[in-house]
Chain A
Amino acid sequence: MNSTPTVLPTNAIDQNEELRVDVTKADTTSARDEPGDAAMATARPTVSATSSVDATHAVKIRAKNVDFYYGDNQVLFDVSLDIPEKSVTALIGPSGCGKSTFLRMLNRMNDIIDGTRHTGDVLLEGSDVYDPAVDVVLLRKRVGMVFQKSTPFPKSIFDNIAYGPKVAGLRNNAKLTEIVETSLKRAALWDEVKDRLNSSAMSLSGGQQQRLCIARTLATDPDVILMDEPASALDPKSTARVEDLIFELKKNYTIVIVTHNMQQAARVSQQTAFFFQGVLVETGDTRALFTNPTEKQTEDYITGRFG
């Protein structure tokens, strides 16, 4: 039962291992205690208690016993998951398993849909994001999101990136220019577009558009970046670039990525959570989960027996 799944390229794990060591070193100093951590330690243990999250990474987001409904249709069942800061957490599972719904709960994008409700808590640094006192606009600035289909606004490249800071009230042109440049550089797009910042974002290729959307998210200076299958509509070369980018970004950001592509999950993430029919079946260190899944369903899925 515990044979290495054939879908996983062994070098991916090696690469992963190296990177994790890197990050551990870099982050020991920056890791900080969560304000609500002590209180939470006494709370009832969650599924994630079994996960082997790096000890140096404090919990950034904690979901506790989350149920979610579209009307009468329950799509998430008692999901509890800890997401460590400055690392990549991959959500995998077959279509309709609730992974995207869970992702969209983290920055309350589900609020936009009529007739949805939930129970349970989602805590960002210990405070409930669904608290009525929480300003959802501020929450979405802290928890940015990149969508499956790249959605550049029909404006110039510059205006696309500057949109987030502008709506937040920044009017200083020099500062905006600086933000646009840093964001594009971080998204590894600067060299390709620096000479045509004023041309339409629609003129970019699909892969460039998606990196533009990532740059746009970075421009709002978020703590957490949610990615909903960010590379599923891209060709392999563009996918590789986006994956490289995710590698880079996790040094500074907490990243949660939904993906259908298990190699991708294995390549980019440190923690993986497997969803099936609305239930969080298994979660843990990516390498452990892929090489030594404890649940039969997980093994069946990652070895390609279904899904």
Chain B
Amino acid sequence: MSDQQIGYAALLKRRHRISTCFEWTCRVATVSALLFLAALLAGVIWQAWGWLDLQFLTGFDSRRPGKAGLLAGLWGTSWLIFFTAIFTVPMGVGAAIYLEEYATDSRFTRLIKLNLSNLAGVPSIVYGMLGVTAFVRMFGMISAADGWTMALSLGFGTLEIPLPLGRCLLAGSFTLSLLILPVVIIASQEALRAVPPSIRHASYALGATEWQTIRHQVLPAAIPGIATGIILALSRAMGETAPLIVVGAMSYVAFAPGNLDTPMAAVQDPQRVLDAPFDVFTSITIQITNWIEQPKEEFQNLAAAGSLVLLILLVIFNATAIVIRNRAQKKISW
């Protein structure tokens, strides 16, 4: 063996050692992350054990821990997410389609795209401040003192819109929409970009208009990615607390928005559905925050039970996103 070969062999051993070291570092990182997560989950389940029962899910909040329930938060969060989705989906997907399919690459569109990624990173409490100014107070255009109510008769009930909106559920939904819009737009843009340009060209070459190309070729291929992005963004909105506190969610509410505490009530008294968006509200996260602040020990168990409910909802949401994605991948292969 020449000197050079001996040097190579020695170095080779060292190179393999470094490689193994790195692999183990990564493994430790993964395992410790999982350990923390497992500890957290175990702690929550341990604390919530025995508290997460039917009474907890169907009862309203109470001063007495034994009688307190999450129903107001469950309804509040459901309404919030429902309206957030209604505002976010058309605006987010529409903006993404415009930016990807129609807008030419100008300085203006580049500025928008740059700002979108910046907006996605803005702390949620800042959106809360924006929500208070824009929706709760409506920029002070109408002072709260001489606020008035716009009434719209709809046959089965009257839609009463307070101006300014005030601390109502709808203001919370608008704020959450602002918060997740950048995320939805960016995710949708990526999904649209993943559709091969050749498909668009083939469609144009067959005499399709831009809308027909988007409707029949681009959107069907991009919808799984868009849906995944929307669901993940909504689950982020579901877990938000800070902006809702700023916008004025109530920490103690013993009724559902619009007094609509069972789905049946919506059929029996449609007026309640119309009242719900403009009612005061709370959310699962706000209730959890409130319970944590209570001095009585039992409220900590309630907070854990609330967290567990929120976690389960998030897991369901994310699982749906994964199912949608996998189904679509099977159906479409380029």
A interface list, Cβ under 8 A from B = 107, 109, 112, 114-115, 137-138, 140-141, 144-145, 147, 149, 151, 153-154, 163-164, 167-168, 202, 213, 216-217, 220
Contact = CB atoms under 8 A, between A and B. Distances in A.
Looking at B202, B205, B332, B334, the one whose CB has the most chain A CB atoms below 10 A away is: B205
Nearest to B208: A167
Given A147-B201, A151-B198, A154-B221, A164 B207 contact: yes
Nearest to A149: B198
Given A115-B105, A154-B220, 6 more contacts: A112-B200, A153-B202, A163-B208, A167-B206, A167-B207, A217-B205
Contacts of A138: 207
A112 B199 CA distance: 13
A135 to B, nearest CB: 10
B204 A112 contact: yes
Contacts of B216: 163, 167
A154 B331 contact: yes
B201 A167 contact: no
A104 to B, nearest CB: 9
A138 B202 CA distance: 15
Contact of B209 (A107, A137, A154): A137
Contact of A167 (B104, B209, B332): B209
Looking at B206, B221, B331, the one whose CB has the most chain A CB atoms below 10 A away is: B206
28 contacts: A107-B205, A112-B201, A112-B204, A114-B104, A114-B105, A115-B105, A137-B209, A140-B205, A147-B205, A151-B198, A151-B199, A151-B201, A153-B202, A153-B203, A153-B217, A154-B221, A154-B331, A154-B332, A163-B208, A163-B216, A167-B208, A167-B212, A213-B202, A216-B202, A216-B206, A217-B206, A220-B206, A220-B207
B333 interface: yes
Interface in B209-242: 209, 212, 216-217, 220-221
Looking at B216, B220, B221, the one whose CB has the most chain A CB atoms below 10 A away is: B216
B208 A137 contact: yes
A140 B201 contact: no
Nearest to A222: B207
Contacts of B217: 153
Nearest to A221: B207
Contacts of B202: 147, 151, 153, 213, 216
A50 B204 CA distance: 35
A109 to B, nearest CB: 7
A111 to B, nearest CB: 9
A186 to B, nearest CB: 16
Interface in B71-101: none
Looking at B204, B331, B332, the one whose CB has the most chain A CB atoms below 10 A away is: B204
A220 B203 CA distance: 11
A216 B333 CA distance: 20
Contacts of B196: 151
Contacts of B209: 137, 167
Contacts of B332: 154
A284 B205 CA distance: 28
A137 B212 CA distance: 11
B214 to A, nearest CB: 12
A168 B198 contact: no
B37 to A, nearest CB: 38
A220 B202 CA distance: 12
Nearest to B211: A167
Contact of A140 (B199, B207, B220): B207
Contact of A202 (B200, B206, B333): B333
Nearest to B333: A202
Contacts of B206: 140-141, 144, 163-164, 167, 216-217, 220
A168 B196 CA distance: 23
Looking at B207, B216, B221, the one whose CB has the most chain A CB atoms below 10 A away is: B207
B199 A153 contact: yes
Contacts of B334: 154
B272 to A, nearest CB: 44
Contacts of A140: 204-207
Looking at A115, A167, A217, the one whose CB has the most chain B CB atoms below 10 A away is: A167
Interface in B99-131: 104-105
Contacts of A216: 202, 206
Closest 4 CB pairs of A and B: A141-B207, A145-B205, A164-B206, A151-B202
A86 to B, nearest CB: 21
Contacts of B212: 167
Given A114-B104, A154-B331, A202-B333, A147 B204 contact: no
Contacts of B200: 112
A208 B314 CA distance: 46
A163 B203 contact: yes
Interface string B241-271: 0000000000000000000000000000000
B117 to A, nearest CB: 21
Nearest to B206: A164
Interface string B173-214: 000000000000000000000001011111111111100100
Contacts of A112: 200-201, 204
Interface in B19-39: none
B109 to A, nearest CB: 10
Contacts of B208: 137, 163-164, 167
